[in-house]
Structure formats: C-alpha cells, structure tokens
Amino acid sequence: MDKLEKDSNYTDRTFEDIKHIDENGIEFWYARELMKILEYKQWRRFENVIDKAKQACENSDISVFEHFADVGKLSKRANNAEVQIKDYKLTRYACYLIAQNGDSRKKVIALAQTYFAIQTRKQEITEKEYTLLTEDEKRFYQRNLTKKGNYSLNQTAKKAGVKNFDKFHNYGYKGLYNGETADDIAKRKGLRYREDILDNMGSDELIANLFRISQTEQKLKKDNIQTEKEANKTHYNVGKIVRKAIKEAGRDNARRFTYS
C-alpha cells in the first residue's frame, strides 16, 4: 500500500492495465479483475458493492444494463474441472459507482474514486465537445491519441517478442493501406524525408489507424503472442480487417486508403 501512496503514476497504471477494449473500440473492465485491485477477497462481498452501485445507477435514471453487463466465465478448479462463474463487463462510469460504494477505509478505494471520477468527467467533456471542434482541432486531438496508442502498443509488442519495431509497424500499415509501407505512404503524400505520416493525416484517417493500433494491442494480449513473426502477422491481419470495414462502409471513405 505504501507504493500506492508514494507513486503518483501507479493509479493510472493500476486501472489502465486491466482495461479492455471490445471489437467496437469501447473500453470496459471485468468486475473480477477490478475486485482484486480493490482488495476484495470474496466475490460475495464485492457483489454487494456492485449491487449498491447498480442501485445508484438506477436512481440516476441511467440504464443499469448498459453499464453493468452480465457475463459468464469458465474457471478451473483444483481437480481441473471447469465451472461457470458470474462476472460483469463494466463501463468507466460503473467502475466509478463501485468505487463510490466501496470500503472507504481502504486507500486504494480512495485512489479509485479519484481516478474514475476524473476520467469519467474527461470522457463526458470529450463526447460533448468533439463534434464542435474544427477539422484541425479534431486532427490534433486524434493525433495525440495515436501517439499514446502507439506507445502502449510498443510496450505490448515488446513483451510479445518484437525487436524490429519499424518492421512491425509496417506490417500494420501494409494491412490497412493495401500493401503500402510507411515510406510508400509518405511518398504518396509528398512528404519530406523523416516527416511523420501520422502528422499528415486527417481526423478520419487517424481514427482508422488508432482503431488498428488498439485492436492489435488487444489481440496480442488476448492470443498471448510470443514471437515477433506472429506479432507481425497479427498486426497485418488486423490492418486488413480495419481496411475491409472501411471499404464496406463506403467507397468515398476508402479513397484515402488508395483502393483500386
């Protein structure tokens, strides 16, 4: 617990490390993983906290199902038998309500309250204000997100065995851009030597790349990739999937990705 108090960055890492992102790019947390972080040893006791949080959500006329989705998981017992156990997929707001209804004597609960309160407020502001931004402001905002996303992806890729990061990222670009590498994209855009291609993309194109980045990171973790070859292949395949989705959404949306 001393570490939690001394290291101001530990809070973000703690809750961000157990964050998941679904196929639609929506972030969520599993209740059983959050339970361990919040130092609850028994599911029964933690579920009591969840019930209070759900009640608070309902009292605010907010959909409980939207923020506390029931999910089941298989858990292995000592004899290797598998049993179905209850769990929840929680939104950031649900995590905030749980922290608000947790054992306030625990310092980690206070940290969770602060963290999820701030992040929930940031999210609310972003959703309301984003549509009012100019294209340049949207591009700048999305560019910052891609920088953070690439940093996080690099950390995960390193654990997966990646050593040549230029090659790794080119696999992702080739999947998304129909075989083009970063250099190919730069030449097509008429950029100078070493000019960053991400600094020369519109907001929609940056969103597509951010989705590629986040989904690749999640798949590397989910599939427990352990070799550079498999990591590169994963990045390429995710890029192709994102490319296909853009193409199916409409040919106009796909022009920036040089479809034939």
Whether 5 shows a pLDDT value over 70: the answer reads no
What average pLDDT does the segment 46-74 reach?
A: 89
- The pLDDT, as a whole number, for residue 6 is 36
For residue 70, which phi and psi values (nearest 5 degrees)?
-70, 130
- Same domain for 193 and 104, yes or no, is no
Q: Between 74 and 176, name the one with better pLDDT.
A: 176
Residue 153's nearest CA partner among 37, 95, 239, 88 is 239
C-alpha 108, offset from chain centre: 22
Q: What are the angstrom distances between the C-alpha of 107 and each of 18, 37, 113, 149?
A: 19, 11, 10, 29
For residues 209 and 230, membership in a common domain is answered with: yes
* Lowest-pLDDT range of 31-35, 51-55, 67-71, 244-248: 244-248
Residues 166 and 248 in one domain: yes
Q: Are residues 143 and 252 both part of a single domain?
A: yes
Q: Centre a 10 Å sphere on the Cβ of residue 174 and count the other Cβ atoms it contains.
A: 21
Rounded distance, CA 236 to CA 177, Å?
10
Last residue in a domain, options 107, 131, 155: 131
pLDDT of residue 27: 86
pLDDT over threshold 90, residue 13: no
pLDDT for res 225 = 95
**Interatomic CA distance for residues 15 and 175, integer angstroms:** 31
Q: 3-state DSSP call for residue 256? A: helix
User: Bridge partners of 68?
Assistant: 90
Residues 206 and 153 both lie in one domain:
yes
Q: Does the pLDDT value for residue 158 go beyond 70? A: yes
Span 95-112, average pLDDT: 87
Q: What is the mean pLDDT of residues 90-104?
A: 90
Distances (CA, A) of 27 to 19, 23, 95, 192, 235: 7, 10, 12, 36, 20
Is the pLDDT score of 178 beyond 90? yes
β-strand partners of 28: 20
Strand-pair partners of 27: 21
What's the total number of domains in the chain? 2
Let me know whether 115 and 139 are in one domain. Answer: no
DSSP code of residue 25 = S
Same domain for 47 and 15, yes or no, is: yes
End residue of a domain, out of 131, 164, 186: 131
Q: Are residues 145 and 242 in the same domain?
A: yes
Domain of residue 138 covers 134-257
Q: Can you tell me the distance from the alpha carbon of 9 to that of 153, in angstroms, rounded to the nearest whole number?
A: 19
User: Using 50, 70 and 90 to split pLDDT, how confident is the model at 213?
Assistant: very high
Q: Is pTM beyond 0.85 here?
A: no
* In a shared domain, residues 139 and 203: yes
Mean confidence (pLDDT) of the chain = 84
| One domain for residues 142 and 249 | yes
Looking at the structure, tell me whether residues 77 and 123 fall in a common domain: yes
